[in-house]
Structure formats: structure tokens, C-alpha cells
Structure 1
Amino acid sequence: RKYSHLRRPPPPLTAMAHLQLAAVAGGGRAGDDMEDVALLGSYDEEMGGAAPAGGGRGGAEEDAEAHVRVTGMTCSACTGAVEAAVSARRGVRRVAVSLLQNRARVVFDPALVKVEDIIEAIEDAGFDAEILPDSAVPQPKSQKTLSAQFRIGGMTCANCVNSVEGILKKQPGIKGAVVALATSLGEVEYDPSTISKDEIVQAIEDAGFEAAFLQSSEQDKILLGLTGIHTERDADILHDILKKMNGLREFAVNTTLSEVEIVFDPEAVGLRSIVDTIEMGSNGRFKAHVQNPYSRGASNDAHEASKMLHLLCSSLFLSIPVFFIRMICPSIPFISTLLLRHCGPFHMGDLVNWILVSIVQFVIGKRFYIAAYRALRHGSTNMDVLVVLGTTASYVYSVCALLYGAFTGFQPPIYFETSAMIITFVLFGKYLEVLAKGKTSDAIKKLVELVPATAILLLKDKEGKYVGEREIDALLVQPGDVLKVLPGSKVPSDGVVVWGTSHINESMITGESAPMPKEVSSVVIGGTINLQGILHIQATKVGSGTVLSQIISLVETAQMSKAPIQKFADYVASIFVPIVITLSILTFSVWFLCGSFGAYPHSWFDGTSNCFVFSLMFSISVVVIACPCALGLATPTAVMVATGIGANHGVLVKGGDALERAQNVNYVIFDKTGTLTQGKAVVTTAKVFSGMDLGDFLTLVASAEGKQ
């Protein structure tokens, strides 16, 4: 059994949202101390702004966004096919597909189209698709209204019900409240950015009643990696642990990958509570950790590179003997005699070549046939079609020539090595392409590495006193947690200082090298470095709500955007394959007709060949030379590298359009000193005014510096 499921029907509440989706909302919350509104605004503008009105929808706040990993794309024609297939679905607002990232970003109306429909559309187009979590931790609350259920005790009559309802409706942020005396339940519609569930409980208790939160319409999705899951018995134990937890809506355990995907109510249960419950419920046998989506992406890139390298090595291992049998061995008398020995109607060398090339053509080269079939099935063409045409033409001709020679005695030339070497060289190009794709995301990886891996959580007793501390995964930090930041360590999340004073290096955000003083009530940004004193901070934003996460999101959006010139490249790529095939047929026809009418001397090809084979070789050459087409990769690669290098140096580029227009910039004005300097003294020249050797002097200086 690969998957085991538990599905609980969602509560009868309104405003249910799919967990894999992030609401596309413009602007930021009022009163936020972080200067992140501009970042979010840039992101919304890049994705096209608010969704157009229509279909009875209210605006961009009701649209949702899905991130999909798409595998199988090889050129810009593939990205065009994916965009066309997804855009054809009713309710899809915008689609952006990145060939280099193997990723699609879809903004859609969840009332008209579901994520499953988007996945189905991509798979129908002939590609594999997988939904990606937008973040490894729950998404921040969007500007929407939640519905929550509370158990209310102590009510005895209708006056109690009216009293509770009246008190709740007076609270800021509460849109409506309905209380049922018979079930002792209350359903409250509220704005989570104005009032929290704990404040609602406090308001009810202040009125003289007992209250407890039950569940809300909010839900989040998380992917946890597991250690200690080895057998079906282990999976059953995990099942029982998760079934007993309140707030879990749905989960699926994958025993093969040792993962569990959980849909839960973040208002009812926290992510850290889920991880702790799994560990305590199994008496420490199972360990759960949050799967970082960027690490997962890097792992997928490494796996793809490893897979391509394996194919390349296998193809090379089989192609080298074919090349030697054709080119080198005829010059070695003993081996030549051995290869000319008959094995049935065939020569030994021809038979060995046929076997080896067949493996390269149809086993190693199977991926090209699959990709070409998918493209042709949907009326499009790509580079794989050219590879299949060129190699198949060479292979089929060689097989026909071999069979013809075996049964007639006439030995026409055989070109088995052509198809084998073509596939080997194309695989080599694919391998370099995969490596290039991995390197283009280095900027994102470096930004992610700015966040510390762990955080020190301060533990409280029932009276609110700090009784200890615990080191936790930084991805498990929750809003409201009080964290201890030691000198020299990085701040785990955005927050506010509640105790201590220090100086923090915020150059990664502000560009200012001078450390910023921090005291109680000062705002701190996740990823910045605490230089001196110990600080206690209260986390206010975690996960994708932090400033650093929004910068990462902005860089990702910029890297997925298309420069205006890319539209021209996409158009050329869309007609490139048909043009190449036409030129190939034209080449064959011209050379064949010229040869038939004696326009060129027969001495141009050897006596065992003819003008048909001679012309076919030119035709195959046209197709093969066009295979490693860089039209679909050149522009997006340039955009990704440029935006990535800019991000490393503190310059955020909104997208390909802005990058292309930057060529018209004549002057750049910087608004403050320190932006262009590092603020650190650097030794530029060293001179010794005594008889000491300069190398010995520098050695002493380095030793003294190392003992500081």
C-alpha cells in the first residue's frame, strides 16, 4: 500500500479555501510596521494586477493562485502548449510558465475551476504536473472573513443567547454572530486581521460564560518528512495518532517517500503541535520535519541532473563501440577480419552495431519519442520532433540497407553510428541544460540560506513565566512565539523586541552597513544578524509573511516573467520546427534531383553509395544541426541570471520588461550614502620599511588577527 488516507468532511462553514492556494490580494494590512507593501504591490502588478470583473466575481481578493511543477518541457513550444492548455480552462485568469524552473504559476477563480482541473489540463497536453506548496509553513491570513465555531457554556435561557450575541457583535472585526442555546454552540464571522479567536473567547468569558474554540473555515496544507516509518505497521500507528488530533481535516501518508501531507485548521492546531504530537504519540519512534520547498526543488534538480548523466553515460558507453567498429576497426587487420565474419546472412560487425544502436535508439532515446508523440498529438512541434526525425531516418535507412545487403549481396553504406552519436550529443546538451537550469536558481538558494535553520523558543508556564528554552526548527515558529536571539546569530523571523538591547546588521534589507540599535518595541527582520546583546523577540510574521520571503517571491516572479523580446523568440520557436522540416525536405529534393541529372560528379560519393543516400545525409544534417535550438532558453536564462545577480547585490528587478528597458537608463541616482559602500576597511597596499620580508610580515599579521 503506497497511500493511506483519512478524510473528514469539512465543517458546514462558509469561505472554505483550498489549502494549496495563496490568495492574490493587493496591498498590505493597515498598521504593519514592516515596509512590505511595496513588495506586495510589485508582485501583484507583475502578475497583472486585479482580476477583471466578470462572472459575478468581486475582484482580485477572490482569485486564487496555484504553483505547479511541470516536467517534460524541453523548449518554448512546450511552454506555449502548457499556457494554451491551461488558459483554455474556464475561470483561469493568468498563466505564467517558466521553462528553466519547470514551473507554472496560475491565477484563477476557484468558483469556476479547481486545481485538479488545472493539473488535468497540463497532463492532457502531454506533461507531468504536481502541485507545489507555496511555502513550507502556513500562509499568512489574507484579507478575508473567517467563520469559526465556539462552544459556549453557562447559557440557560434566550436572554443569555441575546447577551452573548450582543457582546460579540460589539467587538471590532466581528461581522456577525449566531448562538444556539440547544447545542451550546456559537458561529462567529470575523476578520482575523482585526480580532483573533483568543480575543473572542476572552470577550465571551468576560461576559460571564465559558468559551472554547472548536474550529474555523481556515485551512492550511503542509508536507512533512518522516523518519522511522519503515513498515505498514508504522503507517497504521501514525494513522491512529493523526486521527486523534483535533483540527486535522485530511491527511495522506506516503510510506514510499516517508512523507505525510496534512490539511489542517491553523486556528485550531498549530504546525508545531502537529510535529510534537507525532513524536510524543510514537514515544519518539517517529520524527517529523517540515519539507522546505526550496530544498525539495534543489533535490529534484539534482535528481534530474543525475538521471540525465546516467542516460548520457549509458549512451556514450554503447555509442563508442559503434563508432570504433565503423571508423577505427577496419584499419586493424585482425579485428577487421573478425568483424567481416558471417553470422547468418549478416556480417558480425553490422549485427553488433545493429544491436547496440537499437538499445540507444529505443531504450535510451525513448524519452525523445514520448515527448515528440505528446507534442504531435496536440498539434504542436518541438525540438524532440527534430531529434526523432533525424535519428529515425538514419536508423531506418541503415536497417533497410542492412537487410537489403543481406538478401541481395549488394552492400550499400550503413550509418548506424549517425543515429547513436546524434542521441549521445543531444543528451550531452540536455545534461548541460539541466546543470544551467540548476545554477540559475542559485540566487534564490542564497536568499533562502539567509534564514537560520533553528530558533531558540522560550517556554512559559501557566502563569506566563519563562521556565526554560528549547531549540526548534525555524520553520515551526508560530506568530506570538517568544524567541531568544544570541549575539552573532540570525533573527529567525520578523518580530518585535520584548526584552534586551543590541545592534543588528540589517544591510541585507536596507543596504546600510551601519548596525541599527534595537531596544524594547523595536521591529526586527528575519534573516538579519544580531551583533552584540541578547534579545527576546516576539514573532509577528512567519513563513511567507516575512519580508525576506516576500523578496524571494518577488525575485521568483521576476525570473518567471517574460521580456518583450521573448514574445518574438516564442513566435520564431513556434514556426521553427516546421521551417526546419521544410528546409530538410527541400535540401533532399534539390540534391537528389541534381544528382539524378548529373549536376555534380559521382566522385563526390563512393562507389557503394548513390545520390539517394548522399542526399539523405544532407537532409538529416539540416534536421540534426537545428536540434539544439537555444531560442527558447536564451532570453529566460538571461533574465534569470540578471535578476539573480541583482538580488545577490541588493538590487531587485521586477521582471524581464524592466530589465529590457534598463538599457535606456542614462543616469542612476542613489538617495543615501552607504548604499554603494561596504562600510568595512580593506587593506589595499602593504609596504615594509625594514629588512623583514613582506611574506613573513603578512604571516605575523594574520597570526595576530586570528588570535583576536
Structure 2
Amino acid sequence: MKMARNGDQSAVAPSNETPSCDDEGRVVYLTINGMRRKSCARKVQDALSAAKGVTHAAVDFETKQAAVFAKTDSGLIETALVDVVRAVGKKYSATEAAHTMFLSIEGMSCAKNCAREVQQALSAMEGVVTASVDFETKTASIDVAPDRQFDDEALLEVVRRLAPKFNARLIRLSGVKTAENGSARQQKTLPGVVSASVSFATEKAVVQFDRDVVSVEALVKTVEDVGYEASCTPADEQSKIGDATLLIGGMTYSSCSNSVENVLRNTKGVVSATVNLATEKAVIRFDKTVVGIRTLIELVEDIGYEASYVSGAEAQQALGEQRTREIARYRTDFFAALAFTLPILLIMLVFENIARFKHGLKSEIVRGLSCEALVVAVLATPVQFYSARRFHIDAWKGVGNRVLGMAFLVSMGSNVSYFYGLFTIVRAISLGNMEAVNMDIFMTSSVLISFVVLGKLLEATAKGKTSDALTKLMELQVKSATLMVFSPDGSSISGERIVPIELVQRGDVLKIVRGASVPTDGVVVYGEGRVNESMLTGESKTIKKVVGDRVLGATLNVDGFFHMEVTGIDNDTALSQIIRLVEDAQASKAPIQAYADCISSIFVPVVVGLALGTFVVWYILCARDAIPQDWIPDSDGKFVFALDFGIATLVVACPCALGLATPTDVMVGTGVGAEHGVLIKGGEPLQAARSVNTIIFDKTGTLTMGKPVVTDMYTLSGTLSAEKLVILAGSAELGSEHPLGTAITDYAKSMSLSLEQPTDFLGALETGISCSVGGHIIVIGNRAWIEDNAVEGVDDIEVDQATIGFQNGGKTSIYMGVDGELSAVFAVADAPRAEAARTLRKLGTMGLEVWMVTGDNARTAFTIAEQLGMSRHNVMADVLPSQKASKVKELQDMGRIVAMVGDGINDSPALAQADLGIAIGGGTDIAVETAGMVLMTSTLLDVITALHLSRITFNRIQLNYYPADVCQRCDGSLVCIRGGFVAIPSIYTPPIVADDKTKSTCTMPTEQTLSAPLLAFTLQEIE
């Protein structure tokens, strides 16, 4: 049951009243693969409807979902329905699907606490497979186990009990029993209705209509008049919140990004805005009924920055073009400055010391004006007003908007120098004294600007390299695909054609030949191949793909030939989700950056005040002859000497490391991680990983292979043979999806035994099942389940001895009762991963305390722990999935910083509770919302890679930030101290040298980051 999603033009959905389960019986949800035409859906639907015990069935071709209604007492099991689908044709296959319910939740005020609290409560409900809460959209998605029928009110009550401020509602379309119902109502038209589409599987109607002709109330009444419940969720209300990404040009320092961010956040209608200096992007959520994208762009441009909007896949290309233009502009400005500054340096430092040139330079053009002074002033002018024009423009706009950025410091320092030089020329002419001209000040201004522009050129070039990883990911996207064209009845292939990837649709069948890249996500429906997924997962080995296996877009078919049915397009593919995660991560801010932002917001006014104070204090000391006269150079007067200190204070204070260190390192770290199959969701997980001192592993599927097998069997029955017991157990477990149950069924099949479908099937999550097979009542599960079902013989001494022996071997005991008597005990083992032991050893050497959590009994868990080299004290056994989060919290209450490693499914509450959640084996399920990191491969060694990469990246942030920050503070303080408080004659920082130091600290963070060996270890070193 799904609520109407954002983006529908108008959605009619029903009331929240839930129909009685007695009326509908039991509903089984299936995912159907292999349907290429709507006629295929009709064939499958007819076959399911005719199945024994089924009252009716509906198959939705678009969503590939089927809903099968059966009588409660029919004894129908899901595997029988799967067989029915397969009998329709070889190309069809079916899997049981969990159904999803959506809630709209009001009253959540923060993502960290409120959203997590709601998610944990929903995840802990029995029958809930996964639950995720999106704080931004205020919605919850709940995947319900296939064998569960949920009372909607129970979900709503769970949310309401958390806090009075939380209010939840579920919107769904009820009463539509079959696809024919939906189709019939869909064809009944009203005046003013442009189109109407009813999906049975999603229980949603999408209606496009003319509001001037028909009202929403009339649409709802029409649905109700034909016997169905309906309520309206207008799409314009659902989709009024929009997202936009703007490319911002002209940002040079963290104060720039702060200014843009503050302007956007203070705009009416803007929900949130985040501006990232390194990516030069602004990510904005806004109310489309209040403000539009054009207005947002104009607001940014009004404060002196460039802004443009590019949507979709073009954004990264546009960003690259913008950075190329920026580099070209800075290169032009720099070489222009260099062309005029070099002659100034030659005149002042070389020619003036050569007698024959000096005579010509000192010749008087007019009274009081020498040739040298005129030439130097003329050469300095284009540098001041052409090469530095961008700083002057940005500074002027910043003053107009009361935003003083670093451009203001550069502009103010260079202008003071230049115009003071002009003042000395005018003064010299009025006095008729050529010696009154201070030409050194022109050299100071020109060289200062040249160094600033050179620094910006290097910075822009370095920043352009930080998005290389994301660009490489986007280049993996395939441009075209070979589409198989079928005959009208869908029974044979009539041809093939090449189509752009944008025109590929779900349900299309594509041909993949040897050496070709897989265009998009899908399922193999014919043939087989060996696929290299290293571009997405980081694993270089090839993986065999046969019919029914999933393939991912952008992977390479190294050998073989196959046809695939498309299941994911556009933003629904694994590659698109990876790109989106990396983009979101690179746009996020690490918590440490809050300190830098705070400093930047007050930095410029403080620096201007210090520079002015330095000049005033020093000039007073000079005027009162409070310092030795030999400190003042012959070419400088007292005013110029004091002015030099003021200018030096301005230019030495440029805090580039504050603005660049954090976002640049986050970009590089997340990009390198993506290349190695580690998806890091932003700066917060990076910072959290640095502080983690405790790591918890889920056992099944994480520390172990996740493929349990039957190794031993202990029998007690005197009337039934061991073979008959295996048949009964294997048949009973046909109705179970639990890995341990599947192991028993596989064990029976491996013995080539004939199994029969069970009836009266009843299952309990994580405990056991009961059913009827061949006239016998079968109960299979753990000891507690057997005891709860009053099976006798469990306390037998021989049974205890057998189970203890199994548990000592690290095996799980599965009890089987037949007709109320314990008849057999199966030993099921799940082997540890080959790399598990050395992974845990390496984590120990990294200073982490390693724990294991499992639902197995303590004896089995201890055995596995010993095999892996873990201490028994660090094992948490007999823990149900819903209790894992509380175990994480227990460790957190002890003051530990906890990372949780799980498969991202049943472990989602614990992943959300942990300070750092790591979902392993997430390559085919990227949308693990609760984890801070997602590992694309199934190898545990990537846990080390993720933690090591995070620590190196965060250490690099500190290495970039603190030395540069300390250097600038010391330089600035030294200038101020010498200028106003203490006489230190042996130390002097001219403006040119001050700017050189500043530029080195500006480019150091970026260059150092890009050259840093972020993965400074190999897997061999782990051993």
C-alpha cells in the first residue's frame, strides 16, 4: 500500500480507514520478471487467478508487481505461486516481495534525534523488515515482511506514542480488488478529465484534469459512487517543495560561501541552503509557491557573485566548463600583471644601479617629476585596474551589501599603496622636488597584485582536480544500448536497434555482447556472461551471471553473451545512486568546518581594525622619534614606513586554509573512497570515524558467509526413518525464507528427495515455523519455539548432549517435532569469512575494541568468536534484530564511540543508533539510508579501508588547517606587535613577503590534499 508520491499532477487517494483482513483474506505480494508486454501481464494474472486457493489476482505491468488474494484457510503457500508463474513460460520468474507502506510524519524538528527516534521505533516492530525516515520530506517508508498483514493503526500509534508532537497519517487507495476494477473505473470519464490511470499494485490513481471544468471533490465523489473509498492528495501540495543546485562563480574564500549561504537562507520561501566553496555549488530546498530559481540567482548576483542553474547530468559538465573559464581568466590576469610588473622590477632593482641608465631615469620631465617616476606609475596602473579589477568589483559589491570578504583586504591594501604613490608624485611636483616621490610603493602594489593573482590561479587549477573522481564516475555512464524488438505477440524476436540510453524503458530487453558495457541495471533473462564490476565495487575479479542474476549498469561484460531485462533507469540505477551519494557527500560540511565558518564571519573587520591600529601606533612612534632613525630606510619616510606595516597586516591575514582545507579534503576523500568501493556520506561520517574506539559486527552474513549448510543430524524417532524426516523437514521449510530453513530444504534437495508443499503454514519471525506435511504436524525452530508448541522430548539428556556437541563446534541447533514428539535435531553451520580473523586483528592494532552481536545461543557464538580470535567477553548472544540497537546504546552509555557493521537490512536500527553505521555488501542496495558508510563489496577488509581512509582524510584536514592558521596568526601578531607594542628591529615583514606567505598557505591545503597518499597501505600490509 503506497501513498501518492510527489510529482503527480493530481492524485486521488483514499481515506485512512483500513479494510478488515477477514474481508480480503490473505494477500501475497510477488515481483514478476520476464514480462515484456502488457499481454504478458495478463497471462500471468490469469494463471495466478486460476490457482487453487486464490480468490483473485492482479498484475501491474509497469511496476512488475503482483498482488494475490487467497482465502485465509486455503493453505496456499508462496512457493506454489512462484511455480504457477514459472509454468506460464520459461521466461517468467517470480519472487516473493515485501510490500511497502508510507507515512507522512509531522512534528519532527531535527534529523539527528527525531528522525532517528521514529525510525528506530518503526524498525523495532515485529514484521517490519526495514524502515527509513526522510527528515527533509517528513516521510517514512516501511517494508513489511511478505507474510505479514499490518494493521495500519498500529504503525500510526507507534509514532504517536513517541511524543505528543508527532503526528502520522497514511494515505492509500482501498477497495480496489482487481486490476479489472481499476481498469473499469479508469475508463469511466468525467467532463474535464484529461487522463486517468489507476494502478492496482500501488493502490493509487493519477488524474490530470481541468480545474475550471471539474473539481477535486467531484473526482473523489465519482470514485466513492462506484463503491470505493477515496481521498485527495493534490500533487501541487505534495510537490511544492523543490530542490535546485546552483553553480556559484567568484567565490574565493570561506567568507564568500558564508555570504551566499546567509543571503539564501534569509530569503522567504527557502527551506534550507548549503554552499560549498570547494565544489562551488549551492544546494537549495525551497517552496516553489513563494520563490523561484530565477529569483535565487538574482539574489546571488546582487551580492557580487555569478550564479547559474543547470539540471541533471549536465551539472558536472557545466561546473567543469565554469572552472575552465575561471582558470583562463586568472591566467590572463596573471600574465598581464607579469608583463607590467617585471619592467617595474627591472627599473627599480637593476637599471637604477647602472650609471648610464640611472642618469636617463633621473632626468626631469617637468619640475619635480622624473622619467623614472612617470614610467613606474604608468606601468603600475594597468596592473592596479585591469589585473586586480575583480577584487575591486567584489570588494565594492561586498561593501554595498555589508559583506566584507577577503577581496576587500586585497583591494584595500593595493589601493592604499597605489594612491599613496600618486599622492607623492603630486606632492613632489608641487614642491618641485623629485626626491619626494616614493616609487617603491608602486612596486609594492604591483608585486602584491601579481602574487595574489598567481595564488588564485594555482588555487583554481588545484580545485579543478578535486572533482576528478566524480567526473570519472559520470563518464562510466553508457550512451546507447542495443534494444531487442519483439513480434506483436511477444513470442519471438523480430530485430534489434540501437537507441540512446535516455530512451531505454523498464521492461525493455537489451542485448549485451562480449566486451560491451551493461547500459543500465537489469536482470539476465537469456544466456550468460562474466561481468567485471570493479568500476562500481572495486573488486577486480569477474563474476559469472546466469539467468535470474542481477547486473549493474556501467559494468563490463568480459566474456559471454546475454539478454537482460531493464529494471532500473535514470536515477534508479546503482551508478546514479552512487553519483548522488558522492555529490551529497562532497556538498556536505564536516562539523569541524563550523569553527572555520565562525572565524571567517568576523575575520575581515578584525583584520581591518588591526591594520589601522598598527599603522596609527607605528606612525605615532615615528613622529615622536621614539624609535632609532636607522630603522627607517632612506627611500621611505615615516609615513610610508608605518604604512608598510598596515598593508602587511592586511595581506598576511588571508585565511585561505580556513575556507579550503575542509571542503577540499572531504571532496578528495569521498572521491577516492568511491573509486575503491567505499561510499562515505559526507563530512560527518569522516569525522565520526576518527573518534570511533569500539566496533560491533553482526555475525550472520557479516563475519560469516551468510550461507548456512546442514552438517549433522541427530534423530530420535523410532517410527520414521532419517530419510523420511529429511523429506518432512525439507517440505516444511519450503514455506520459509529464513536462511536456516533454506539450508534444510537445500539439504533435502541435495539428496534428490521428492518434496511436497506444506499446508496450514504458520511462521514466527526469527523463531520457527509450524505446518502440515503428508498428514503430519511439523514444528521446526529453536528450542523456545519447540517448547512453546508443547513438543515433548526436548529435555532428554541425549538431546542435550547432542546439541551441546553441535554448539561446541560453532553450529546452530534446529529442533524438529513431528506430531508433538521431538524427532530430530539438525546442526547448521555458517562458516566464517576467510578474511574475518585478519580483519579483526588489524582493527585491534588500530586501537579498536571489537564486539560481535548475534541471535545465536551463547555457546555457538563463543565458538565462532574463538575461531576469529575474539574474547568471549566481547560477544553479545541471543540478541533479536530489534534488540541490537539497545546493545549499541549500552556501549554508548559506557562512554564508547561505537561503529556498527551490518548488512544494512535487519541491522538498520543498530546502524542508525551507532555513532558510525557501516553497511557491508551494499553494492546492489545503495539506498541504505541509515548507514554513514556503504561498502560496495562483501569483503570485510573494506571496513579497514573505510576507517583508514576516513582517519587519513580527517588528519589531512587538521594537517592543512592548523599549521597554516598558526602561521598566519603568528605573522599577523608579529606585525602588530612590532608595529605597536614592542620594538623588534631584526624582524620585518614587507607587504610583498607577507603576501608570499599568504599565498603559500592558500595553495598548501589544496596541493597537499591532492598529492596525499590517502590509501597509504596495501592489503598485504594488513596481514
| Pairing of 1:79-98 with structure 2 (within 5 A) | 79-98=257-276
Structure 2: stretches of 5+ with no match in the other structure: 1-7, 12-62, 67-94, 101-110, 117-131, 140-165, 168-233, 704-832, 836-937, 943-1023
Name the residue aligned to 2:391.
368
Counterpart among 136, 140, 143 of residue 49 in structure 1: 136
Q: SS in structure 1 opposite 2:403? A: coil
Name the residue aligned to 2:939.
675
User: Cα offset for 1:47?
Assistant: 8.9
Matched, 1:547 2:574: yes
User: Cα offset for 1:469?
Assistant: 4.1
Name the residue aligned to 1:408.
431
Contact 1:46 1:655 in 2 (8 A): no
User: Cα offset for 1:553?
Assistant: 0.9
User: Cα offset for 1:367?
Assistant: 0.5
Contact 1:73 1:102 in 2 (8 A): yes
Structure of greater relative contact order (alpha carbons < 8 Å, 6+ residues apart):
1
Q: SS in structure 1 opposite 2:679? A: coil
User: Cα offset for 1:108?
Assistant: 1.5
Q: SS in structure 2 opposite 1:599? A: coil
Matched, 1:649 2:913: no
Matched, 1:120 2:295: no
Counterparts in 2 of 1:30 and 1:308: CA distance versus 1, 3 Å: farther
Rounded Cα–Cα distance in structure 2 between residues aligned with 1:322 and 1:364: 15
Name the residue aligned to 1:347.
370
Counterparts in 2 of 1:534 and 1:662: CA distance versus 1, 3 Å: same
Rounded Cα–Cα distance in structure 1 between residues aligned with 2:288 and 2:415: 45
1:86 partner letter? L
Matched, 1:110 2:288: yes
Counterparts in 2 of 1:468 and 1:399: CA distance versus 1, 3 Å: farther
Name the residue aligned to 2:560.
533
Matched, 1:429 2:516: no
Counterparts in 2 of 1:316 and 1:459: CA distance versus 1, 3 Å: farther
Contact 1:429 1:628 in 2 (8 A): no
Q: SS in structure 2 opposite 1:89? A: coil
2:586 partner letter? Q
Counterparts in 2 of 1:604 and 1:31: CA distance versus 1, 3 Å: farther
Name the residue aligned to 1:417.
443
Name the residue aligned to 2:333.
311
Name the residue aligned to 1:595.
622
Name the residue aligned to 1:326.
348
Name the residue aligned to 2:659.
632
Counterparts in 2 of 1:57 and 1:405: CA distance versus 1, 3 Å: farther
Name the residue aligned to 1:160.
none
Counterparts in 2 of 1:336 and 1:469: CA distance versus 1, 3 Å: farther
Q: Deviations over 1:534-564 (max 9, x none)?
A: 1222333223221111111111111111111
Counterparts in 2 of 1:512 and 1:605: CA distance versus 1, 3 Å: closer
Rounded Cα–Cα distance in structure 1 between residues aligned with 2:418 and 2:133: 48
Counterpart among 310, 318, 329 of residue 132 in structure 1: 310
Counterparts in 2 of 1:455 and 1:572: CA distance versus 1, 3 Å: same
Counterparts in 2 of 1:474 and 1:348: CA distance versus 1, 3 Å: farther
Q: SS in structure 1 opposite 2:654? A: coil
User: Cα offset for 1:604?
Assistant: 1.5
Counterparts in 2 of 1:443 and 1:454: CA distance versus 1, 3 Å: same
Deviates further, 619-628 or 394-403: 619-628
User: Cα offset for 1:511?
Assistant: 5.2
1:658 partner letter? P
Name the residue aligned to 2:929.
none
Counterpart among 421, 429, 440 of residue 466 in structure 2: 440
Contact 2:538 2:675 in 1 (8 A): no
Q: Deviations over 1:231-281 (max 9, x none)?
A: xxxxxxxxxxxxxxxxxxxxxxxxxxxxxxxxxxxxxxxxxxxxxxxxxxx
1:304 partner letter? E
Q: Deviations over 1:596-649 (max 9, x none)?
A: 121111122234532111100111111111236321111111211221222221
Name the residue aligned to 1:336.
358
Name the residue aligned to 1:177.
none
Counterparts in 2 of 1:676 and 1:325: CA distance versus 1, 3 Å: farther
Q: Deviations over 1:137-178 (max 9, x none)?
A: xxxxxxxxxxxxxxxxxxxxxxxxxxxxxxxxxxxxxxxxxx
Name the residue aligned to 2:513.
486
Counterparts in 2 of 1:558 and 1:74: CA distance versus 1, 3 Å: same
Aligned-pair Cα RMSD in Å: 3.4
Rounded Cα–Cα distance in structure 2 between residues aligned with 1:597 and 1:390: 26
1:314 partner letter? A
Q: SS in structure 2 opposite 1:586? A: helix
Counterparts in 2 of 1:103 and 1:467: CA distance versus 1, 3 Å: same
Contact 1:51 1:59 in 2 (8 A): no
Q: SS in structure 2 opposite 1:501? A: strand
Larger Rg: 2
User: Cα offset for 1:387?
Assistant: 0.2
Contact 1:494 1:542 in 2 (8 A): yes
Counterparts in 2 of 1:547 and 1:608: CA distance versus 1, 3 Å: closer
User: Cα offset for 1:501?
Assistant: 1.4
Rounded Cα–Cα distance in structure 1 between residues aligned with 2:639 and 2:442: 17
Contact 2:536 2:675 in 1 (8 A): no
Contact 1:563 1:656 in 2 (8 A): yes
Contact 2:249 2:322 in 1 (8 A): no
1:69 partner letter? L
Aligned length: 493
Deviates further, 93-102 or 514-523: 514-523
| Pairing of 1:258-277 with structure 2 (within 5 A) | none
**TM-score (structure 1 length as normaliser):** 0.64
Name the residue aligned to 2:408.
385
Q: SS in structure 2 opposite 1:533? A: strand
Contact 1:511 1:675 in 2 (8 A): no
Name the residue aligned to 2:249.
71
User: Cα offset for 1:310?
Assistant: 1.7
Matched, 1:456 2:720: no
Name the residue aligned to 1:559.
586
Name the residue aligned to 2:318.
296
User: Cα offset for 1:80?
Assistant: 1.6
Matched, 1:499 2:526: yes
Name the residue aligned to 2:965.
none
Q: SS in structure 2 opposite 1:368? A: helix
User: Cα offset for 1:470?
Assistant: 4.1
Contact 2:248 2:308 in 1 (8 A): yes
Counterparts in 2 of 1:335 and 1:485: CA distance versus 1, 3 Å: farther
Rounded Cα–Cα distance in structure 2 between residues aligned with 1:378 and 1:431: 26
Q: SS in structure 1 opposite 2:295? A: helix
Q: SS in structure 1 opposite 2:279? A: coil
Structure 1: stretches of 5+ with no match in the other structure: 1-12, 17-28, 137-291, 679-708
Counterparts in 2 of 1:15 and 1:374: CA distance versus 1, 3 Å: farther
Q: SS in structure 1 opposite 2:246? A: strand
Counterparts in 2 of 1:487 and 1:398: CA distance versus 1, 3 Å: same
Q: SS in structure 1 opposite 2:524? A: strand
Contact 2:538 2:676 in 1 (8 A): no
| Pairing of 1:613-628 with structure 2 (within 5 A) | 613-627=640-654
Counterpart among 571, 577, 601 of residue 604 in structure 2: 577
Rounded Cα–Cα distance in structure 2 between residues aligned with 1:64 and 1:650: 31
User: Cα offset for 1:441?
Assistant: 0.7
Identity of aligned residues (%): 37
Deviates further, 633-642 or 395-404: 633-642
Q: SS in structure 1 opposite 2:245? A: strand
2:423 partner letter? C
Q: SS in structure 2 opposite 1:563? A: coil
Q: Deviations over 1:300-352 (max 9, x none)?
A: 22222122112111111211111111111111222222222333453222222
**TM-score (structure 2 length as normaliser):** 0.45
